[in-house]
Structure 1
Amino acid sequence: MPQSVLYAGLSDSQLFHLVKKDDIKAFEELYNRHWTGLIDAAYRRLQSRQKAEDLIQDIFVSLYQKRHTREITISVKAYLYQALKFKVLNIYRDEFTRSACRKDLFLNDNCKTDSADYCEARELNTRIMKTLHSLPQKCREAFLLSREENLSNRDISVGMNISVSTVEKHIGKALRILKNNLRDYSFMVD
């Protein structure tokens, strides 16, 4: 009898118990069992397949990395959907905060010296937002942590669990794309 058949017959809690003992096949079974449902739920909330996949991947990576210390007192399925709910709420909160800050920055009284400046500020804001949203998630995340949170590349690498050189590549890529998309404006993006 193939080993995968044995895992398929186990409950989620039994599988997670094996995951805590570093059983990668048990983790794969949990992943395969819940991936599709979680992706569908994330996509309904985010309306982006890429964001949904990245989010679910982050949830499973976190679960695996914290497997030895994580105690799940509810069902594993409920835990995963609860983690999804909180991650989506964090995304909504972050997007709302960024949007509010950009509106304050570009549409405050200092930018409204005349109607032409106001319209240009709105157009620039729209172009910046579109450009930022077009960036791959990890690239956008590294760039925003660098520019909005003023984190060092080392802090970003630790927080995102990637190398410093990868952080530098993400930020460089974001700057190149922003410079290219904003080249019509009379300033340099640095």
Structure 2
Amino acid sequence: MDNNKSLNIILKKLKNGDQDIFEKIYLEYHEILCIFLLSYTNDKNLIEDIVHDVFIKLWNKRKTVNITTSIKSYLYRSAYNKFIDTHREQKKQTEMLSSYYYTAVMQAINIDHSKKDDIVNKLDTCIKSLPKKCKNVFIKNKIEGQKYHQISQDLNISLKTVEGHITKAYKLIKGCLQINNF
């Protein structure tokens, strides 16, 4: 009963916009949530992003949030759900980009041999013209076959940054190839 009363007091303060109570919740649970997410991924940047998103959501939805068990349970569940959503989105984006890559390769195969050499040379030129970091990430993923999380760890950048570089590389390569009618 005492825990329930304490929870109600904390929730009331939180709903009224008490920044001190929010800060106490943050300080008490931030590190614990990061450790919890380590059981799902070793990407520390991703973990930090997820935990910060959980607390931002808690603050932004403080007036309508409905916590019935405990703040700890709510935060753990929120962190887990955010991790799963992020993982699904990354998987979907990876599959989409792989599909584009596969389509480009299949189109290149169906072109006569004289044009193939021209396209391969132009593709090589386009890849070489990418910005340095973008090119490095693209080569590690598409040529060396490394996974996003491995690139993220090797280069000490977040998964979102890796995804951004791959997306940017595809756009730049596509534009480069279209300029030259390939």
TM class by shorter-chain length?
A: 0.5 to 0.7
The CA distance in 1 between the partners of 2:91 and 2:161, in whole Å, is: 19
Match of 1:28 in 2: 23
Q: Which has the higher contact order (CA 8 A, sep 6+)?
A: 2
The CA distance in 2 between the partners of 1:59 and 1:15, in whole Å, is: 17
Match of 1:64 in 2: 59
TM-score (norm 2): 0.59
Match of 2:75 in 1: 80
The CA distance in 2 between the partners of 1:124 and 1:186, in whole Å, is: 21
Counterpart residue identity of residue 13, structure 2: L
Counterpart residue identity of residue 72, structure 2: K
Q: Assess, with a 3 A threshold, how the Cα gap between structure 1 residues 107 and 123 changes in structure 2: closer, same or farther.
A: farther
Deviation at 1:84, TM superposition (A): 0.8
Deviation at 1:46, TM superposition (A): 2.4
Number of residue pairs aligned between Structure 1 and Structure 2: 142
Counterpart residue identity of residue 20, structure 2: K
1:104 is aligned to 2:102: no
The CA distance in 1 between the partners of 2:96 and 2:160, in whole Å, is: 21
- Point out where structure 1 has 5 or more consecutive residues left out of the alignment: 1-9, 149-174
User: Which of 79, 85, 90 does residue 85 from structure 2 map onto?
Assistant: 90
Deviation at 1:91, TM superposition (A): 1.2
Within a 5 Å distance, the mapping from 1:125-136 to structure 2 comes to 126=142, 133=152, 136=158
Match of 1:42 in 2: 37
TM-score (norm 1): 0.57
Contact kept in structure 1, 2:43 and 2:158, CA below 8 Å: no
- Point out where structure 2 has 5 or more consecutive residues left out of the alignment: 128-137, 178-182
